[in-house]
Structure 1
């Protein structure tokens, strides 16, 4: 989504304070990771690209090559604001999502300046089948992914809010985007981004074991989404579950891992939830 220059909030400790400093080890109970990307195909995913119907993978935008899930534009004459989103076919509510991504090559012709090395993970998103043909973005919470230009600072794991708002420090946050406190990742290096999503209670963006952005009570509202079905936007509705999307905004990007730990079984057991999250984040074999 489009970048706006807003003040950042201070980095927070992880929701469960023991998560990165705990003595928990890999021997603690933890759920098995669900590989949303199986390394072979996108049969469990639904593409939704602006100006095209849900399910149409226009110009083979989303593809699997060399074991990587790639976003490419070699079939486009011009980008023409054909923002694309690839939705996993099952919704989730309580989970830890891990992405490994890298930006590559050059931006395609017609892409906006703000979309250079720009992609995202959409959280608590609407059903892709409910998106209209001309809709630009799913109503969702976006974990914005950005790459650096080799010189200037440019944070990643930011927040953008197409058709949504969140609460930060007990105040409703209504601007469209908010920068995280992350460092800049330049070039074509692989970056690992974690998103801890616990229904509507808290969402944290985590890089290298540090929380770089935190908010809660995600809800439908605000603007920055166009040509949607009004029935899909009841402003004020709290979002506690939804679909996960990967984004196409005109710059090529690769994903080599998209995995999810389902935390819903621990929803009513805070102590066990703490241990599970700590174990997942401290598992060095996942890095």
Structure 2
């Protein structure tokens, strides 16, 4: 059957439209967020506090009250460098993590000056079951949370690297910490920190819809972690997945949301991955 020119053009446009729509992502096809914190308990999490065995929630440091995941120290006489970390029980590699947090109350006795209004989300962390009793921090990439003192500038969503290194501006970055370009968040206000983690390629720290820090090739290496099992520290090994931890560093903090968008289904399709990320972060 012959097609006239108009029919042929219409058919081509229809086919092109179908092809375009099949490769696009709409809002109703976006991944649903996984609520890592369910608002009720921490049964899906494992505590690891320095000087204590894996799984021991010393002095009820991590607790759920009023629908919030709280870090508290009312059972401590002195902090004694008992750095704590709460690990979600599943590892992830490609994801967008959203954490809503606020600092409250006063720092516990014995907390270091640098740890005042200091906490964080640890990314690509080692399995908590592999941490030794006296280990201070998990080998991981830390998205550091800092609160302001009411007058001075103090950025948040910074980078710290316990037992790790990253690449920045095509060079291996080996200092322990680097500040982001964020604003300062004073007082007890809620802050939403986002972390876009794409395997061992790139990690972006996002605040108020702006990328405030970006780096590539997270990997094991360097210092700033103590009393670890040497078998867990394979320097130079790229980190393409790992466990997510929330931190206890001597200042009380609340978390009201910890949610994750799993991006692993898109990791082999850059066009779709870029579309999904754009929609989730706009």
CA contact (8 A) 1:28 1:276 kept: no
Partner of 2:280, secondary structure, is helix
Partner of 1:257: 257
Partner of 1:274: 274
CA contact (8 A) 1:124 1:243 kept: yes
CA contact (8 A) 1:29 1:276 kept: no
Partner of 2:192: 192
Partner of 1:234: 234
Partner of 2:150: 150
CA contact (8 A) 1:81 1:111 kept: yes
TM-score, structure 2 as length reference: 0.91
**CA distance in 2: counterparts of 1:73 and 1:41, whole angstroms:** 18
Displacement, 1:28? 5.3
Q: Which runs of 5+ in 1 are unaligned?
A: 1-23, 283-287
Partner of 1:176: 176
Higher relative contact order, chain-length normalized (CA < 8 Å, sep 6+): 1
Map 1:1-287 to 2 at 5 A: 27=27, 29-282=29-282
CA contact (8 A) 2:25 2:276 kept: no
CA contact (8 A) 2:85 2:245 kept: yes
Partner of 1:138, secondary structure, is coil
Moved more, 139-148 or 24-33: 24-33
CA contact (8 A) 2:88 2:243 kept: yes
Displacement, 1:212? 0.3
**CA distance in 2: counterparts of 1:161 and 1:236, whole angstroms:** 14
RMSD: 1.1
Question: How many residues were matched structurally?
Answer: 259
CA contact (8 A) 2:122 2:247 kept: yes
Q: Which runs of 5+ in 2 are unaligned?
A: 1-23
- Moved >4 Å (runs of 4+): none
TM-score, structure 1 as length reference: 0.89
